[in-house]
Amino acid sequence: MNYIMKKIIVANWKMSPPTVKEAEGLFDGIQTSMPKLKDTEVVICPSFVHLDSLSKMLHASCFKFQVKLGAQDFFWEKKGFYTGEISIPMLKNFGVKYVIVGHSERREYLKANNEIINKKIKSALKSGLKVIFCVGEKERDEGGDYLKFIKQEILEGLSKLNRKDLDNLIIAYEPIWAISSNKNSLADDPQSFFQTSIYIRRVLFFKFGLKVSRQMPILYGGSVDAGNACSFIEEGNAQGLLVGRASLKPKTFTDLLKAI
C-alpha cells in the first residue's frame, strides 16, 4: 500500500553544466518541455554557483508551484569562520527548499561520515528545510551484510532525533554500485528495491515507531532513466527518484517525467 501520494523527483546536477548560461539553458529546456504533473514535485539541485540565476528564472515562471530548488550539500553552522563552506541561511536567500545530505560521492571523497551527516540533518531539519538523506551500500553480498551497513547509516545519521523531528525527512536509497558514474553500473531491480525499502521501514519502525515507518518517503536512485523510472515507482513502490545523469539533458529528464 502506498501511503504517500506525492512523488518527489530530484535532479542532481552534480558539477554540471560548466557555465551559468548552460545551466540556464538546461533549466529553461526542462521547464519548456515539462509535462503537466499531478501529485509530483520536481526538485532541481544545481551547483551552488547557479542557484542565484535559476532562482530568478524560477520566480518569474509559472513552474514555481511544481519545481523547487535544492542544494547538493551545505555546512551545519549558520555563521562563523569556515572557509569554503555554504550555510543554510545563504541557501534560503535563493529560495532553496530541499537539501541533499550524505550523497555517496561526498561520503567517499570528502570523508563525510555518519557523525557529520547527523549534524547536517539536525541543522537542516531545525531550519525547516526538507532533507534528502542518501543511504546505500558499496557492494551487495549474498549473506545480507549490506543491510547492516544501511541500518548503521540510518541509525547514526538520525541519532538524537525524535519522531516529531522527521516530518521533513526523505530517505533516498541509492546503492553505490548502481550510480551511473561507476564502471559497470547497472540500476537495481525494482523488486529488490522494494525489499530493501521494507527493510528500511523496519529499521525506522524499531527506532521511531509505526507512523514514521509508514509515512517516510523512500526514493530510489542509481542509473534511473526514462526506461526504468516507471517500474521503480509502480513495482518498487518508490515515492520518488533521485536522478543524476538523466537529469542533465532536457529531453532525457522530461522523457523520464513523462514516463512516470
Residues marked as catalytic: 103, 174
Task: State which residue has the least CB distance to ligand PGA.
Answer: 244
37 exposure class (CB count in 10 Å sphere: 0-12, 13-18, 19+): middle
Closest approach of ligand PGA to the CB of residue 243, in Å: 5
Closest approach of ligand PGA to the CB of residue 196, in Å: 16
Q: How many CA atoms lie within 13 A of 204 on its CB side?
A: 20
Rank residues 114 and 221 by Cβ distance to ligand PGA and give the closer one: 221
Rank residues 51 and 132 by Cβ distance to ligand PGA and give the closer one: 132
Closest approach of ligand PGA to the CB of residue 220, in Å: 10
Rank residues 129 and 136 by Cβ distance to ligand PGA and give the closer one: 136
Rank residues 70 and 200 by Cβ distance to ligand PGA and give the closer one: 70
Helix (H) / strand (E) containing 242: strand 240-243
Q: How large is the greatest C-alpha to C-alpha distance in the chain, in angstroms?
A: 53
Helix (H, G, I), strand (E, B) or coil at 130: strand
DSSP 247: G
DSSP lists the bridge partners of residue 171 as: 133, 218
Question: How far apart (Å, rounded) are the C-alpha atoms in residues 174 and 141?
Answer: 16
How far is C-alpha 36 from the geometric centre of its chain's CA atoms? Answer: 22
Closest approach of ligand PGA to the CB of residue 150, in Å: 16
Q: Which residue has the cell 538523466?
A: 246
CB 169 within 8 A of CB 216: yes
Rank residues 153 and 208 by Cβ distance to ligand PGA and give the closer one: 153
Task: Spell out the SS3 assignment of 20-82.
Answer: HHHHHHHHHHHHHHCCCCCCEEEEEECCHHHHHHHHHHHHCCCCCCCEEEEECCCCCCCCCCC
**Which residue ranges make up the site for ligand PGA (CB under 6 A)?**
12, 174, 179-180, 221-224, 242-246
Closest approach of ligand PGA to the CB of residue 56, in Å: 26
